[in-house]
Amino acid sequence: MGNVWDDVLPEEDRLVFERAGWGKRVGFGERPALLVVDVIYNFVGDRPEPILDSIERWRYSCGERGWEGVAQLQRLIAAARAQQLPIFYTGMDRRPDGFDQGAWNWKSHRAGEETDMKGHLGNEIVAEVAPQPQDVCFVKDKPSAFHGTHLLDYLIYLGVDTVITTGTTTSGCVRASAVDAAQYNFRSIVPQECVWDRSTLSHKVNLLDIQMKYGDVRTTDDVIAWIASLPQRPCGPRTPTGRPDSDPAVAS
């Protein structure tokens, strides 16, 4: 099976990457965390439907391809839960005046629509992949899950060596988060069926860029098989449990 970007990659570009040595695998580590980026109704709509219909009501929507990604992500989350991997969820919302979004408002003439506002269904995590009490959830204001959040602190505390980035959109928050994971010297893994974008071209080109320069784009089946090969609770006793009787201070 070829790569998802093969049909948009010119032969000369392929040769450039090959001869310059890009695209080497970083490989899987031993202590992964799963990052679920912005899998909220704003980015898939409230039901599977063609994207041009969906964006009439949900301006960020990726339409049916988003719901296809959600189905794949369900499989991956189930595998992560079975091995007790730490799972981090990001979401978004905004003040009614949009101040907290800053320059992020400048690129869309629909930036003020109510689906962005705090308390709207659009900002809720899709029920099919909803977090559980042990998971860590936070809101971010910019594309990267690392920007202005405690994500890096938590990963260091857990001794994580690999970040599996999933969600939406491939060219925006997924790319920014996967690149930042690499910049902080984590092994950066992107399961290609568990990320999606409103633009097919952007999806393919950004996966190509991640594979060539920042991390590994792998099939969801490959990532699930690797997770299943790990020991239970690979990040150890500091892995969040959501239970008040746990003692996160006890660590080996």
Catalytic residue set = 173
- Integer Cα distance of 133 and 136 in angstroms: 8
Going by C-alpha positions, the residue among 198, 111, 186 that lies closest to residue 146 is: 186
Tell me if residue 46 falls in helix, strand or coil. Answer: coil
d(CA 113, CA 240): 36
Residue 187 belongs to what H/E stretch? strand 187-191
DSSP string, 65-96: HHHHHHHHHHHHHHHHHHTT--EEEEE--B-T
Q: Single out the residue of 186, 187, 193, 222 nearest to residue 207, CA to CA.
A: 193
- CA dist 79 and 87 (Å) reads 11
Between CA 222 and CA 15 the distance in angstroms is 26
The whole-angstrom separation of Cα 182 and Cα 47 is 34
Residue 169 preceded by cis peptide, ω within 30: yes
Element (H, E) at 162: strand 162-168
